[in-house]
Amino acid sequence: MSQLKQVAIVGATGAVGAEMIRCLEERNYPVGSLKLLASARSAGKKLKFKGEDVVIEELTKDSFKGVDVALFSAGGGISRDFAPAAVSAGAVVVDNSSAFRMDDSCPLVVPEVNAEDVKKHQGIIANPNCTTAISLMALYPLHKAFGVTRVFASSYQAVSGTGAQAIEELARQSREWAKQDRAWDAAKLDSKPQVYPWQIAFNVLPHVDSFLDTGYTKEEMKMENEGRKIMHHPGFRASVTCVRVPVFRAHSVAISAEFEKPISVEAARAVLEKAPGLDVIDDPANKLYPLPLEIAGKDNCAVGRLRMDCAMDNGLAFWVVGDQLLKGAALNAVQIAECL
Ligand code: NAP
């Protein structure tokens, strides 16, 4: 990776974009020049890269001349409209949105799972759903050893997964509650929520993404659909309930997984301890288990609460936590760029 790359970030001012800048810096990605792109609202503002000011430019179809790698993180519509222009200009696109994830011509990659798939790209490589990527960091090594058949899971997803405005909504609602010096049982605020359909502070919302006719949400089906593609496991089944919680950063997922081969807690722990990008924090007697507050800002995901699932014949229950702005988005995208 000695050759310098001309890199562009689309959505550089967003929650993920900011982390992409940081990941390129911290991982010493060989950036020759960095182009920061966002909407007209941000054009002319500056962000720092390696101590230098970089002026943000408005994204247009002509933004990609001379760009080698374009990291897209500005929503599916923008990716659909502008990624083809980036590819035509000769760039390889790593896309954070869901626009191309299930497109057969676009590899969907978690480097610890299927880095080889990067080679099959035709210009666009998709970055997986954050909850799926974090779950697979623990599930895939277990699958390789014991053969997963299906999972039942519930997610506890941080507001930063929805972007910068949702972070502000939780902060604003928390401040509003504190200012009014309310009693604990008067947590319902007068102000109207703007990002989520219901107040997120002091609440949990069993609603992430839009509902399908089946009653599941689109987000909930990503674990099965994207999990099958990433693990090359077409028979994988996942029944998931995704929940938004008043946590700023890092998603948690409670998973019960059923396996083909006999599994034990000891054998699972031995596998997970060797898994790349994953820490095992599993000492409940000493109150040690992965927590979003502790994992926020860290590259590695963490797994704990390992136990035999008492409602399955050959199942393991566990708890995975990962910083979704990093492993679920920016870090994974930069790792993909490194694979190139
Ligand atoms: P965000 O904080 O709301 O940021 C959105 C970014 O898109 C901003 O930089 C914004 O620029 C830019 N943008 C909006 N409209 C634009 C336009 N017309 N032209 C050019 N740029 C435009 O959102 P985010 O959380 O970073 O998410 C970005 C993408 O990553 C989404 O597709 C999301 O699904 C995906 N993703 C997010 C996460 C996560 O944890 N947040 C995880 C995985 C994937 P302005 O500041 O100029 O408006």
What residue ranges do the domains of the chain occupy?
5-128+330-339, 132-324
* Ligand 1 neighbourhood includes 135 CB (under 6 angstroms): no
- pLDDT of 2 higher than 80: no
Residues paired with residue 156 on neighbouring β-strands, in sequence order? 243, 252
Question: Is 242 considered catalytic here?
Answer: no
CB-ligand 1 contact for 99 (6 Å cutoff): no
Residue 261 has pLDDT above 80, yes or no: yes
Q: What is the average per-residue pLDDT within 310-315?
A: 96
Averaged confidence pLDDT in the chain: 97
Residue with the smallest CA separation from ligand 1 atom 25 is: 163
Give the pLDDT score at 181: 79
Checking if the pLDDT of 110 tops 80, the result is: yes
What's the 75 CA to ligand 1 centre distance in angstroms?
A: 5
Retrieve residue 66's tokens: 């001379």
Q: ∠235-236-240 over CA atoms, to 5°?
A: 140
Pick one of 3.40.50.1860, 3.30.360.10, 3.40.50.620, 3.65.10.10 as the CATH number of 132-324. 3.30.360.10
pTM: 0.96
* Annotated catalytic residue, options 23, 106, 130, 301: 130
Candidates 299, 305, 287; CA nearest to 327 is: 299
Residues 6+ apart with CB under 8 A from 105: 122, 124
- Domain 5-128+330-339 is of which CATH architecture? 3-Layer(aba) Sandwich (3.40)
- Does the active-site annotation cover 121? no
Phi, psi at 195, each rounded to 5°: -95, -50
Instruction: State if residue 6 touches ligand 1 by the CB under 6 angstroms criterion.
Output: no
pLDDT at 185 over 90: no
Tell me whether strands 251-259 and 301-308 are parallel, antiparallel or unpaired.
Answer: unpaired
With a 6 A CB cut-off, is 111 part of the ligand 1 pocket? Answer: no
In this prediction, what percent of the chain has a pLDDT beyond 90?
96
Name the catalytic one among 23, 106, 242, 251: 251
pLDDT, mean of residues 133-144: 98
Pairing verdict, β 315-322 and 278-280: unpaired
Looking at ligand 1, which atom is closest to the CA of residue 76?
32
